[in-house]
Amino acid sequence: MAPLLAVVGGADLPTHAVLALEALRKAAGRRNQPIALELRGAGSSNPLPESALGEARAVLLVGSGDLGEGRFGPLATARAAIEEVLADAGAVLDRALASEPASAAAAAGTRRLVAVTSCPTGIAHTFMAAEGIQTAAKALGHDVRVETQGSVGARDALTAAEIAAADIVLIAADKGVDRARFAGKRVYAAGTKAAIRDGKGLIATALAEAQMQPAGGAAETEGPARPAAAEAKAGAYKHLMTGVSFMLPFVVAGGLLIALAFAVGGIDAMAPGHAGTLGYALGEIGAKAAFALIVPALAGYIAYSIADRPGIAPGMIGGMLAANLQAGFLGGIAAGFIAGYTAAFLNRHIRLHKNLEGLKPVLILPLLATAITGLLMIYVVGVPVAAVLAALTSWLKGMQGASALVLGLILGGMMAVDMGGPINKAAYASAAALLSSGVDAPMAAVMLGGMTPPLGLALATRLFPARFTAPEREAGGAAAVLGAAFITEGAIPFAAADPLRVIPAMVAGSAAAGALALSLGVTLKVPHGGLFVLPIPNAVTNLPGAVIALVVGTAITAVLVGILKTRAA
């Protein structure tokens, strides 16, 4: 790829010029665009190399003063102020690249892309990433089709013909995505945040670095489609979030059915004496069917994320053993990772004659991986993990006073720190998994703490309209709806515009909501739904306390935002 030349004049503002130079270097790196940089001014000594002058596609002139413009002859030229680069180096770089001669742009050609986006809960980040890819592809002149794997399954599913015609496959996901249908295509995988923050850079990097997806199991397919550094960064977190995403429907269905059982048949609806009643039947479905599958589903899909289909059977069987050994969700997590890495290792190292290769996925891998996982769970992992879980469960159920206050502060604050990022998801996954062990207080702190940021910001746009721009005031209504539905990501646009003031206000409000919830004895049996699950009988313990915690947290966020933010320009 031909380099872009950039010359920054630093005579008047030398410090700002150096910062602008580094900003351009980083923006070019994100786009995988070679760039040659020169800083002109007193004391500078980094002239553009002669080789770059001969190969360049365009030149960007930043700042004022003598920039040596006579050297560049017929090269397409773009100009920018230093302040523009410091504000948004990526946009300035894109403008410079778009200024290249038409013949060069035509040579680059329009590419056909297909993409898949998915996040652990399949709600906000899934669709924000899809929008980021679509907007960036349109701006860059590429054709794109995006499949979103949301909470209700795939939407706008890619067809075989679309995949076959695509130049590359781009996966923006925070959980495992089945890549079998992309065999023989160039694939690049990243997280959803890369698509949300810098869609253009992600597409440019994908076009340059996508690698061929081979046929076969995940032990082969997991590595080539994603750079080693990115894969290592995702690592265990991505596998755990895949398991959590598949586990959540079991938790939601079981929790709501148990709540409905109590609503229909009273607090003792599930007692043996009520067998045959509707309440008893609902309780059986929720407690003995849905909840019984929570740990196996968690373990099975952790293993699936690591080893693809060969990991599902040993993972689920290991998860069932964890449940039977009273090791709960901690044992399920251990079983999932053991099964996944065992199946992946065996898949890589067992080599059979081609006539016998068909036996590997249906006989050899399930047998060996399940035996190894099961024996390790029974003889090594199960008992100590069960002891740890029992101690944790006992402590959480016995929380009161200061301990409940501190835990609520931590869980609530975590929900607001990165609004759907790894810290938020860690708190959420922990609380959701604890539901399977009968501990439902942390879920209350997590849900109320996650609802507070968008609700608080929506309230702030009404109480302090002068602190927000017109588009932000308009977005306040949408943020209120998202907050009511427990979609913390509704606060992201406000935090991105003014992170140093908005994020501390959100963390304070969410921490207060979480602390109040646990201090007042609020519990929650359902891991999602926001305000819409609060009216369901027995889904929430101490409903007035939950409302108080939510109102106080929302008010704290709104007032702090109004105090900390300056008047909008």
List active site positions: 119
Are the CB atoms for 186 and 212 separated by under 8 Å? Answer: yes
Continuous H helices in 520-542? none
The two tokens of residue 506 are 């959100």
Exposed / middle / buried, residue 535 (Cβ in 10 Å: 0-12, 13-18, 19+): exposed
The whole-angstrom separation of Cα 382 and Cα 322 is: 6
Q: Which amino acid is at 534?
A: L
Taking every pair of Cα atoms in the chain, the longest distance, rounded to a whole number of angstroms, is 94
Residue 311: which of 361, 242, 260 has the closest Cα? Answer: 361
Residue 474: which of 463, 458, 452 has the closest Cα? Answer: 458
The whole-angstrom separation of Cα 320 and Cα 332 is: 8
Which uninterrupted H or E stretch holds 37? strand 35-40
Residue 185: which of 157, 225, 160, 212 has the closest Cα? Answer: 212
Backbone angles phi, psi at 464, to 5 degrees: -130, 65
Residue 61: which of 23, 27, 101, 21 has the closest Cα? Answer: 21
Q: Cα 526 to chain center, whole Å?
A: 21
Are the CB atoms for 38 and 6 separated by under 8 Å? Answer: yes
Which uninterrupted H or E stretch holds 348? helix 328-349
Q: Which amino acid is at 417?
A: V
